[in-house]
A = this chain, B = another copy of it.
Amino acid sequence: MLKECWKNVQERTPLVHNITNYVTVNDVANVLLACGGSPIMSDEPEDVEDITAICGGLNINIGTLNERSIQGMLRAGKKASELGHPILLDPVGAGASKLRTDTAAEIVKQVKLTVIRGNISEIKTIASGSGTTRGVDADVADAVTEENLPAAVTFAKELAKRLEVIIAITGAIDIVADGETAYVIRNGRPEMGRITGTGCQLSGLATAYVTANPEQRLEAVATAVTLMGVAGEIGWENMQPTDGNSTYRNRIIDAIYNMDGETLESRAKIERA
């Protein structure tokens, strides 16, 4: 599945509309180009409908949201929903402020999402904030570990089922789940956390992957998560003694640019759970 999903992105050049934060937007654009996709950025409410209409998928990231761009997110999201485009939500900082929590909940409510990708804390906020009365916080800890993995997988599947989306929880161990099936991925490096925006980049990648793989969306997201982790490992192997996090950022994107399906498949640490 990894090789096939990878090949489809190469061959179909998915065009992705991104409404993303201004901190990591350049890296998101370059990672989309690196993986074989093509990026367009637009967040102005009067512009987003036209732009999303010429794209194949939509990536909504609330990292530096403002009142104007929130309207852009909702209008683009509704238009892309109408057109049947795959839509990913990256709820950056949901739980850290009322505006972010409310905005993420509003997008979940108004937009027909395909994927929600975040860290465990953001995904727990999504779970709490969208009308459940179950105490999800009590069920899952603040980081996914080998010990609490089964509980986290169950949490991801149940949330995926309830919201009818694919849930991707990323961290040291990654989980990608729909209501039935989950993939657990153990690629990546802890040093990736010392670079700004590896999460945002992954959201861009995952949007390109679901867009180019409409027949196998769960597998597409799992492949994107694996790709990011494998690129993090290869990038780290290429580090020189004086390199630090700024060069590491370049080396990861470079590794995605130079990836091939065989390498991806041979290095993948992915299993069904």
Does A160 sit at the interface, judged by CB under 8 A?
A: no
CA A33 to CA B46, docked complex, whole Å: 34
Residues in chain B near residue A27, CB distance under 8 A: 26, 246
Q: Which of A214-231 contact B (CB under 8 A)?
A: none
Q: Is the CB of B29 within 8 A of A197?
A: yes
Q: Is the CB of A29 within 8 A of B23?
A: yes
Q: Is the CB of B99 within 8 A of A33?
A: no
Residues in chain B near residue A245, CB distance under 8 A: 30, 33-34, 253-254, 257
**Given A34-B245, A99-B50, is A24 in contact with B23 using a C-beta cutoff of 8 Å?**
no
Q: Is the CB of A196 within 8 A of B254?
A: no
Q: Which of A236-263 contact B (CB under 8 A)?
A: 238, 242-247, 249-258
The digit string for A102-145, where 1 denotes a CB below 8 A from any CB of B, is 00000000000000000000000000000000000000000000
Q: Is the CB of B247 within 8 A of A254?
A: yes
The digit string for A72-104, where 1 denotes a CB below 8 A from any CB of B, is 000000000000000000000100111110000
Does A68 sit at the interface, judged by CB under 8 A?
A: yes
CB distance from A125 to the nearest CB of B (A): 13
CA A34 to CA B254, docked complex, whole Å: 20
The interface stretch among A3-11, A58-66, A172-180 is: A58-66
Q: Which of A9-66 contact B (CB under 8 A)?
A: 21-27, 29-30, 33-34, 39-44, 46-47, 50-51, 54, 63-66
Residues in chain B near residue A54, CB distance under 8 A: 96
CA A195 to CA B33, docked complex, whole Å: 7
Residues in chain B near residue A162, CB distance under 8 A: none
Does A146 sit at the interface, judged by CB under 8 A?
A: no
CA A50 to CA B29, docked complex, whole Å: 29
Residues in chain B near residue A46, CB distance under 8 A: 67, 99
Q: Is the CB of B253 within 8 A of A246?
A: yes
* A interface majority secondary structure: helix
Q: Is the CB of B246 within 8 A of A250?
A: yes
**Given A43-B64, A196-B26, is A96 in contact with B258 using a C-beta cutoff of 8 Å?**
no
By beta carbon, the residue of chain B nearest A36 is B194
Residues in chain B near residue A23, CB distance under 8 A: 25-26, 29, 41
Q: Is the CB of A47 within 8 A of B242?
A: no
CB distance from A268 to the nearest CB of B (A): 20
A67-B68, A245-B253 known, 13 other contacts, Cβ within 8 Å: A23-B29, A24-B26, A27-B246, A44-B66, A47-B65, A47-B99, A47-B100, A50-B96, A51-B97, A194-B257, A245-B257, A247-B250, A250-B250
Interface pairs A-B: 3 shortest CB-CB: A244-B257, A244-B254, A50-B97
